[in-house]
Amino acid sequence: MRIRGFAPATPCWVELASAEPGRAQDFYASLFGWDPAGDRFKLRGRAVAGLTRTRPGRPAGWLTYFAAEDLGSAVQRFAAAGGRMLSGPTEARGGRGAVVADVTGATLGLWEATDFAGAQMAGEPGTMAWPELLTADPALAERFYGQAFGWLLRDGIEWLTPGHDAMAGLAPGGRTARWRAAFEVADCSATVAAACDLGAEVVIAPTDMGLGLIAELRDPWGTPFAVTAPTTRPVDLMLTFSAMAGMELTFPG
């Protein structure tokens, strides 16, 4: 599915920083069927993820970026809520970015687009999937992101925008809080097996989360990432027509 833009404070891009970007490029291109294109990975000609070399303020790992209408204002709100600036703001190809840490210590990016909004595809294998904040202090995270982004936390597991649109998750984590990057795949178990053949290590075996399977891996350089395959369930619909309501699709039973 083609994506053309992102609402403020929603996940818009994911980028890998690696000390060995050439080798990392080969690994992820082989695993997800991506085409390397300089500092980006593409799928059928559209950008789906980024690639850069590690540097001060940008440690190794996958970094999830969140859209910002005004980067300066977003950074100020982040700081006022108790967050820290790690690097930036800096000019980049297609916009301006900053790397920040929330009050729990999890690292994320803020992105103000000029002519590049972020991921250009979603909802199919090889694209960015539902990111999750892993933290041992959900209450602290809830207060922080409510102030910094205006988010709401539903049922303790799902982040909502101020417009009540679900766009990210929260899960219990270890001592080190982090945003876990995830990618959609067609077959979770097959992707895990392929990743292991390429040198990855399984952290969490494919697990049924109700709406699909998810697994966490470490790539050959120790970088964690997740893969997820949505479960497709058949739904029966009934088409009815009445003079008052017109044509309606309803669930039988």
What average pLDDT does range 172-176 have in this prediction? Answer: 83
Residue 227 has which token pair?
A: 């893969």
**Is-contact 118 111, C-beta < 8 A?**
yes
pTM of the model: 0.89
When pLDDT is cut at 50, 70 and 90, the band that residue 54 belongs to is very high
Nearest-10 Cα torsion for 56, 84, 170, 110? -70
What average pLDDT does range 18-36 have in this prediction? Answer: 97
Structural domain contains residue 250: no
* Nearest in space to 195 (alpha carbons), one of 54, 33, 43: 33
**In this predicted structure, what is the pLDDT of residue 232?**
60
Mean pLDDT of the chain: 91
Task: Read off the CATH number of the domain in which 128 is found.
Answer: 3.10.180.10
Structural domain contains residue 31: yes
What average pLDDT does range 62-80 have in this prediction? Answer: 97
Report the alpha-carbon distance of residue 236 to residue 243 in Å, rounded: 23
Over the stretch 212-243, which tens digit does the pLDDT of each residue have?
899 999 999 999 999 999 876 444 444 545 45
Structural domain contains residue 44: yes
**Is-contact 19 60, C-beta < 8 A?**
yes
When pLDDT is cut at 50, 70 and 90, the band that residue 173 belongs to is confident
Structural domain contains residue 240: no
Q: Count CA atoms closer than 13 A to 200's CA, side-chain side.
A: 28
Report the alpha-carbon distance of residue 185 to residue 115 in Å, rounded: 28
What is the number of structural domains in the chain?
1
Structural domain contains residue 220: no
Structural domain contains residue 65: yes
Structural domain contains residue 239: no
Over the stretch 122-169, which tens digit does the pLDDT of each residue have?
999 999 999 999 999 999 999 999 999 999 999 999 999 998 999 999
Name the residue range of residue 138's domain. 11-181
Structural domain contains residue 223: no
